[in-house]
Amino acid sequence: MIDLKLLQKDFETISTKLIRKGVDLELIEKLKEKSQELKRAKANFETLQALQNSMSKEFGIYKREGKDISELKRRVDANKIVISEALEIQRVADAELEAIAMSIPNIPDDDVADGADESDNEEIKKVLTPREFSFTPKEHWELAEQNGWIDFERGVKLATSRFSVSFKMGARLERALINFMLDFNRSRGFSEVSVPALVNRTALEGTGQLPKFEDDLYKIEDQELFLIPTAEVPLTNLFQDEILASQTLPVKMTAYTSCFRKEAGAAGRDTRGMIRQHQFHKVELVAISHPDKSDEIFDEMVECASDILTALELPHRLVNLCTGDLGFSAAKTIDLEVWLPGQNTYREISSISNTREFQARRAKIRFKDGKKNSMVHTLNGSALAVGRTLVAIMENNQQEDGSITIPEVLKPYLGM
């Protein structure tokens, strides 16, 4: 959640930054109006409370002096009713302000470029040179069928479209990739964690998936539980409503989970193959950081994900997302896009984001900063999406006869 005090203090600057991210000015004006309404309600309640305290002191004076207290008692009782009404007005104003604030995205960093969509993103650099093929490379679903690694039709039979079943080396490679990525992340200082695949509404509100993206989540009927869209949600919310000692920061974590998304906002996109599935495996990086160190940790996370791709000998590029392509909770994001020769293009395989205080404010994650409590910074990113990494291995390592070579770093994990 954005800092509402900052909005009140400098409305013009904050609103300009939010407009860069596509927030409607009318919604920002409504946020300001509700913020001022709550401020007035609090001031009115405090005035009435002060009056009540003053009259209570008069009671003691009246009694000591033997004065008649009947009129004073009538005023006190009447003020109690007004105080109760004022408190309810304040409660309603607070709830209305929070409801609007929860729908407002994070403020982009000043160095994030303006842009409408992914076409305005800025390439930072390319890593490794794509292989030149002496034949026309196939797309991964053709290779999957030819090698018997992935069966999309049986996935539909078991569930519905955008589910798949991995067999033989396809299944073994998924497991090998998960173990390799977790080991790699641990070598970079990220502690391994195993988390639930179900979380409650509060957790999803904390990281920003709710209330805005409820249509994209799988909900358990008659319960306030949801299948996780990413391990970012449970990992970050491990510290929900906690005050951490500054010396414990940063907390750097990695986890493997299955992830579940309806992909409601991506209807018609990538309907073939494994690029956009309803269930997929992912290894995640999450960091809880002191504000002064979050940029440094952000760079570490980008480097970690890039180095995994390099170790797998997969050509990729780093891309700075523009304001129009930035996620709801992100202040800054660098995407890693892997080269897919079958599609003759780079495709996203990881997004590394710094959310600054945004998630911490929603999830109430603080640290002891001297005598006061301050908000931490939270960061998250994929290292990596397992299915998309398997796709990249298949397409980049395919041979003319359709067979696929195995990256050297994975061979120990396969007993080869």
Q: Is 261 a catalytic residue?
A: yes
Q: Is 84 a catalytic residue?
A: no
Q: Is 361 a catalytic residue?
A: no
Q: Is 380 annotated as a binding residue?
A: yes
Among the listed residues 15, 294, 329, 351, the single catalytic one is: 351
b/e code 68-84 from CB counts within 10 Å (16+ = b): eeeebeeebeebeeebe
Question: Sheet harboring 332-340: ordered strands across?
Answer: 122-127, 316-320, 332-340, 345-354, 377-385, 279-289, 251-260, 191-192
48 vs 85: CA distance, rounded Å = 11
Look up residue 109 and give its DSSP letter: P
Within 85-230, strands assigned E span: 122-127, 150-151, 165-166, 191-192, 198-200, 225-227
Among the listed residues 15, 361, 388, 395, the single catalytic one is: 388
Among the listed residues 175, 188, 276, 347, the single catalytic one is: 276
Q: Is 276 a catalytic residue?
A: yes
Q: Is 37 annotated as a binding residue?
A: no
Q: Is 53 annotated as a binding residue?
A: no
Q: Is 269 a catalytic residue?
A: no
Q: Which two tokens stand for residue 139?
A: 């797309």
144 vs 149: CA distance, rounded Å = 5
Q: Is 207 annotated as a binding residue?
A: no
Q: Is 351 annotated as a binding residue?
A: yes
Q: Is 56 annotated as a binding residue?
A: no
C-beta of residue 104 within 8 angstroms of C-beta of residue 38: no
Among the listed residues 37, 96, 313, 348, the single catalytic one is: 348
Q: Is 230 annotated as a binding residue?
A: yes
Biggest CA-to-CA distance, the chain: 107
Q: Is 382 annotated as a binding residue?
A: yes
Q: Is 349 annotated as a binding residue?
A: yes
**Cis? peptide before 285, omega within 30° of 0:** no
Q: Is 363 annotated as a binding residue?
A: no
Amino acid, single-letter form, for residue 319: V
Among the listed residues 20, 174, 205, 261, the single catalytic one is: 261
The helix (H) or strand (E) run that includes residue 10 is: none
Q: Is 261 annotated as a binding residue?
A: yes
Looking at the annotation, which residues are catalytic? 261, 276, 348, 351, 388
Q: Please enumerate, by residue number, every residue annotated as part of a binding site.
A: 230-232, 261-263, 284, 348-351, 380, 382
Q: Please enumerate, by residue number, every residue annotated as part of a binding site for L-serine.
A: 230-232, 261, 284, 380, 382
Q: Please enumerate, by residue number, every residue annotated as part of a binding site for ATP.
A: 261-263, 348-351
